[in-house]
Structure 1
């Protein structure tokens, strides 16, 4: 009996010392799980902060874009006002010239026949009383070439419009000035800004009738009216084109346009 109890007693003595060892071994498992949860929370926090910063940056970019759009809209409206004022001023000057021309004609009618003959010989040179235009200097040619490069090579129409306005301010009169007005109309027409295009072409067709760009401008004036929803004004411009420049390539284009586009 004594020999039987001895192993049991030994097991009881060993058991209390073994259990704490197992408990100590379990402790790191609980600590490890807790650490993993803390790391996930920290990572999530930084992700939220990063996304919040990206949102703030995007909002800033949107605000900058809106400011730029507002600036461009204001600039566009100012261009329209400037061009409209130019047209008003030029129309007034044309009216003054026409009045002066009318007075000169009345005076000429009272002169003797030899003066009339001299006047007739002066008209023998031909087209529309061809006016002379100031020829450009080297710097003016370079400025105009820069505009043409923006239009035909770089296709940067907004920049070309900006340079045309600068060109017109710098060279208000001259042969290339008329060209610049024509190209201003072309650019506005391509951007579907039909009213601005109409005004630019009108400056060429009303003030510079003898210029080489006048027939083209009159044709494009008709196109501007038509695309803006004014077919009657377009027809008037096309009829004027046939009447004033019947043998030009622009007149042929006008006939084709009226037949194919306007019915």
Structure 2
């Protein structure tokens, strides 16, 4: 009797164990699938993050390139502005002279002045817009108006020269060349050497090496002891290396 009871209990234990394994098996498969889905999702997330990092890196490279180009442009603008300030400083040490008496006129025929006070005032006003007010746009318009009103003025070489400098500083090389060309055509102008030098620089920037060397050579031969000639010779040396 006790033996039968023990056998029934043993059989019950086996049935319970089998049932437990049957229930546990599907549960383990479900957990494995869940884990696989989690790993797959994690992989997709990592891939997306990596793509975002790659895009950020590309954007940074693009920004870095733009910053470098902007830095170069700013450097060029500062250099042109510095050159303009230097030229303006030279002009400030050469004030417009009042008209001398008739006797003095005979002794100094090449001195630039005008007996027309309106002409003197108009020119001085344009100069003051540079020296005193630092109004370069206003000075550009004033010099243009001056040359229109007084096309044969004794101040024409200087007015054209400073118009050229103003346009050069604004990187308007076409207008700068036009005005420097006017100065270069006036043989006795004190600004002619520098005007020829600037025409050479403009031609060089336009990749017209032949024309640039021609202008530089004119400066070296025509004004051998000038500062402009030294700069022109240096430019010629650099061009000959290419």
Q: Give TM-score, length-normalised by structure 2.
A: 0.49
Structure with the higher fraction of residues in helix conformation: 1
Larger RCO (CA under 8 A, 6+ residues apart)? 1
